[in-house]
Amino acid sequence: MATNDKNLVVGDSIIELKNVHKSFGDKPVVKNLSINIHKGEFVTLLGPSGCGKTTTLRMIAGFETPTSGQILFHGKDITELPPYKRNVNTVFQRYALFPHLNVFNNIAFGLKLKKVPSGEIVEKKGVKYEKMRKLTKKEIADKVSYALKMVDLENYEKRSVTSLSGGQMQRVAIARALVNEPEVLLLDEPLGALDLKLRKDMQIELMNMHKKLGITFVYVTHDQEEALTMSDRIIVMREGEIQQIATPQKIYDEPANAFVADFVGESNILSGCMKKDFCVSVLGSDFVCVDKGFKSNELVDVIIRPEDIRLVPVDSADCMKAGYIQSSVFKGDHFQTTVIVKDEYGDDNEILVHHTNPRTVGADIGLSINPDSFHIMHKSRIINEIETEMWDEGVVEICGGKFECNSNLPSATKVRVKVDFDDVELTDDEADGIIGATVINSIYKGSYYQCIVRTDDYYDFFVDTEYEWLKDDRIGIKIAPDKIIIEKIEEAEENND
């Protein structure tokens, strides 16, 4: 949840989302989203399906109203403004071209409804205002043919939209949106339905259009490669929350957490331990790294990109960790090799390596990694998760306390309890809570505080609150029964663990 906004100029933002929440029924889809989109930027909302990226786009377009929070356009609140009054246009995922209209009329649809100042000034009741007029037929025809030229579909005016190929429909959809000269163009996975070759071509074309027109593009995709190629900035989302906002380079090189690293590009994500500044223990060995400022012996996620690992002979001085090659696959411009190395417990770990020379499967090999290739991040989580047992029907035991919940599972059933950060209530007086805990730390996150509180069972609760809690204070923890998510742990699953 790191925001890297510092290096970008603030003040020229065109769209601003402020603490936007959106739920469908009880299901939160977008949680406390705050973003600034700058004028002329190409911003991509990236995330797996169901992460809330399309909902976010639809809120900007005006098709959904946020449950709470504000959307600003040039600093003006447009949260409640209907879509047709917003100066944004959308390219829809399935194009949504009107099947009863031909290409010309599809593109002219918005123009025919548009009103422009006519230059004529009239005075009514002492107030002077400029008369509005509709566009003339000639103006509309000119604009449509210009838009068609822009998307390389000249002389397609009379064609029926159903006779077009997927790529052509896509171009018409883009022309239909751009012809209205919006200040912001919203694109909802516009290339999702195209084949790979066409998708690559359209990516380049969209980027050129963005450069040429200078308008703001907000792009939604689940394709990390597409996002990395096209964007000025990427907003990585997961389960309705922002994971990272940064340039593609930064997202790739310095992912904010294990999720981003995993989602963007190939990576090796390992659990390690920070021994001291500049020294990380991972895979049973200590490595030199460039990170510092972690607590001594803090558990961390260690991320290493496959192309940052060099394969060296086992007996070479560069060899930092020895293993053997399990498999090696040619990927067109590089080999992807899986190397098995043993960690301190003797368990096998699979490490992905990208390299350019063919290697023999089964051969012993050494790994060499530069200190700056270790990306080390705090272990983060997105929900409080505790494995425990039911105390009784409707009562679950959490860290020695008995919490009321909405589950009818019988006593002693093994369950996994999940509680959202903002569903944990902290009480000033320890006695007011069901269990007591100590505040470990409290970080200001831009609009709220994220606290970590440690129970007497040494479980750390992550809590989002609007108040700052003082470190080392004793507090009480309460959770509303309907906020406790209980999942039964199946026996089979337990055995697997």
Interface with other proteins (CB under 8 A): 61-63, 82-84, 88-90, 92, 94, 96-100, 109-110, 113-114, 160-163, 176-177, 180
Residue 110 phi, psi dihedral angles, 5° rounding? -70, -35
Closer to other proteins by Cβ: residue 83 or 313: 83
Q: How far apart are CA 235 and CA 17, in angstroms?
A: 13
In the complex, least distance from residue 80 CB atom to other proteins, rounded to whole angstroms: 15
In the complex, least distance from residue 173 CB atom to other proteins, rounded to whole angstroms: 9
Closer to other proteins by Cβ: residue 84 or 345: 84
In the complex, least distance from residue 84 CB atom to other proteins, rounded to whole angstroms: 5
In the complex, least distance from residue 408 CB atom to other proteins, rounded to whole angstroms: 29
Distance from CA of residue 203 to its chain's centroid?
20
In the complex, least distance from residue 54 CB atom to other proteins, rounded to whole angstroms: 12
In the complex, least distance from residue 188 CB atom to other proteins, rounded to whole angstroms: 10
Q: Which of 260, 233, 248, 251 is nearest to 15 (CA)?
A: 233
Residues 6 or more apart whose Cβ sits within 8 Å of residue 189: 54, 93, 220, 221, 222
Q: Cβ distance 167 to 202 under 8 Å?
A: yes
Closer to other proteins by Cβ: residue 60 or 236: 60
Closer to other proteins by Cβ: residue 97 or 309: 97
Closer to other proteins by Cβ: residue 172 or 339: 172
Closer to other proteins by Cβ: residue 63 or 278: 63
Q: How far apart are CA 288 and CA 276, in angstroms?
A: 10
In the complex, least distance from residue 421 CB atom to other proteins, rounded to whole angstroms: 33
In the complex, least distance from residue 23 CB atom to other proteins, rounded to whole angstroms: 18
In the numeric block, which tokens belong to residue 203?
């990516």
Closer to other proteins by Cβ: residue 102 or 267: 102
Closer to other proteins by Cβ: residue 160 or 249: 160
Closer to other proteins by Cβ: residue 185 or 289: 185
Closer to other proteins by Cβ: residue 98 or 278: 98
In the complex, least distance from residue 73 CB atom to other proteins, rounded to whole angstroms: 15
In the complex, least distance from residue 61 CB atom to other proteins, rounded to whole angstroms: 6
SS (H, E, C) the chain: CEECCCCCCCCCEEEEEEEEEEEECCEEEEEEEEEEEECCCEEEEECCCCCCHHHHHHHHHCCCCCCEEEEEECCEECCCCCHHHCCEEEEECCECCCCCCEHHHHHHHHHHHCEEEEEEEEEECCEEEEEEEECCHHHHHHHHHHHHHHCCCCCCCCCEHHHCCHHHHHHHHHHHHHCCCCCEEEEECCCCCCCHHHHHHHHHHHHHHHHHHCCEEEEEECCHHHHHHHCCEEEEEECCEEEEEECHHHHHHCCCCHHHHHHCCCCEEEEEEEEECCEEEECCEEEECCCCCCCCCEEEEEEECHHHEEEECCCCCCCCEEEEEEEEEECCCCEEEEEEEECCCCCEEEEEEEECCCCCCCCEEEEEECHHHCEEEECCCCCEEEEEEEEECCEEEECCEEEECCCCCCCCCEEEEEECHHHEEEECCHHHCCEEEEEEEEEECCCCEEEEEEECCCCEEEEEECCCCCCCCEEEEEECHHHCEEEECCHHHHHHC
In the complex, least distance from residue 83 CB atom to other proteins, rounded to whole angstroms: 4
Closer to other proteins by Cβ: residue 84 or 330: 84
Closer to other proteins by Cβ: residue 11 or 25: 25
In the numeric block, which tokens belong to residue 170?
């896509």
In the complex, least distance from residue 274 CB atom to other proteins, rounded to whole angstroms: 50
